[in-house]
Structure 1
């Protein structure tokens, strides 16, 4: 069994959407026999921990960052300065799992999206999580879990014909 550490990167303005996605995603990630996911998000901070250094320290321990992207995500100074550079662009030193939590702005040279525009974003083509309702959100989370597994276990390589 492979063990992987994933840290959650998200904008606090998107808390309700984040919580809704995690209600389905975390159990789906726990069902894999060949993958053990260790999870961290800033709600795991404990009394007396310094917000910034504790979060940045967890990024150093993580294998991947699950980036819950919305337009608001790209406007937050802490995300722009400390989170995005670890997971996207020329300074990235951690794996990235970008997800369209909400509708995203169009990409192009007129926008600065911190390098994320160079990555395949889960849900961008089919529609973001926020644009779905009911059982379609559960299906989104299950497909996302499968996509995370494939990335972590490097199952996206060559296939035999």
Structure 2
């Protein structure tokens, strides 16, 4: 089943291209710095920003089937993507879900996660998995993901708390 996406007026979804890398990196850093601040230490936020600035991040973006939410005057306001999760057959990992702080709480994360889920399902992945940053766990719970276990994501010498979650694609 394809989800009906409810997007704010004037938002257009576009696929990621290499030309979008700088804007995507800037959005990811800004969103994490502002929206995750209550759940992470300043050192963890700085480490995450270092991860985003690293050369390898461009390759990570390119392989993540990113969907961009664009506004005609505000520009890039959100992203989400997916990639194959080879550790589990038939599973896609939802990732790179970031929303501009000025656009938070308008349904963009939900709409983009659903768009990424639909794309992954259409590509043949009936199972979904996410390594959710601790601040994003409520979003994924509302979307039907179940907690599997807790862990950490290494980033530039720091460990960021995460929750591993999964669900079956509709």
Give the TM interval when normalised to the shorter protein: 0.3 to 0.5
Give the TM-score normalised by the residue count of structure 2: 0.33
Greater fraction of residues in helix: 1
Greater fraction of residues in strand: 2
